[in-house]
Amino acid sequence: METILVAGANGKTGREIIEILKGTPGYKPLAMIRKEEQKATFDLMEVDTILADLEGDLRAAAKKADKIIFAAGSGGHTPPEKTIDVDQNGAINLIDQAKAAGVKKFVMLSSMGVADPKNGPEDLRHYLEAKKVADDHLKACFMEYSIVRPGYLTTGDKTNKIRAGESLGEFGKISRKDVAQVLVDCLEDGIAQNRAFEILSGDIGIEFALREIPNNR
């Protein structure tokens, strides 16, 4: 049984990830939360929690993890400096502690547009740039990873179908439920290994679409 630490477990995508992990044989979710009062929700689901803040000491959280999904973020309505503190430096903090703890794979929820922030919408540029610094750090740190870059996240249903590729060449949408499934599937060794790729809603089964992404070992 592998323990999967989910950073941002209390968020909208994070909760979908926890649900999927609960029902996936071989995985035991560990919800990383930052407020004591958030624990009750996870207790009801019989999911273990650990209190940790991306801006604080993450050593204990990383040491408990076999693999990690990063689904946290400062949100669109925070001051720009929070984007640097959380989406960039918070992610780097967790990547560094994961590396030090010997975590076997780090799955990053990134965003479409991160590969080339200069060409992204101006109001998102600081966010895309911060995410790129974090993604580049992950790529350079000699830990196994997958970097998943979805388009606009919706509250739509799970379809289990996507389009995936290094660069899809257009913007679009995808449900958080489908994104969560992609992130969980990427935990498996040999799936999108050491690759960054974009996803949108589509008509190809997730499992098949991910196996079409060449690994980079």
The binding site for ligand NAP (CB under 6 A) comprises: 8, 10-14, 34-35, 53-55, 71-75, 86-87, 90, 109, 111, 150, 152-153
Q: Which helix (H) or strand (E) element contains residue 85?
A: none
**Quick one: 1 or 202, whose CB is closer to ligand NAP?**
202
Nearest residue relative to ligand NAP (C-beta): 73
Q: Where does 135-210 show beta strands of DSSP type E?
A: 145-150, 152-154, 161-165, 173-175, 195-201, 204-205
For residue 179, the minimal CB distance to ligand NAP (Å) is 8
What CA–CA distance (Å, rounded) separates 22 from 20? 5
**Quick one: 4 or 26, whose CB is closer to ligand NAP?**
4
Give me the sign of the Cα torsion angle 94, 172, 29, 215. negative
**Quick one: 111 or 210, whose CB is closer to ligand NAP?**
111
How many residues appear in the chain?
217
**Quick one: 18 or 213, whose CB is closer to ligand NAP?**
18
Q: What are phi and psi of 49, to 5 degrees?
A: -125, 160
- For residue 127, indicate whether it is catalytic: yes
Q: What are phi and psi of 75, to 5 degrees?
A: 85, 160
**Active-site positions?**
127
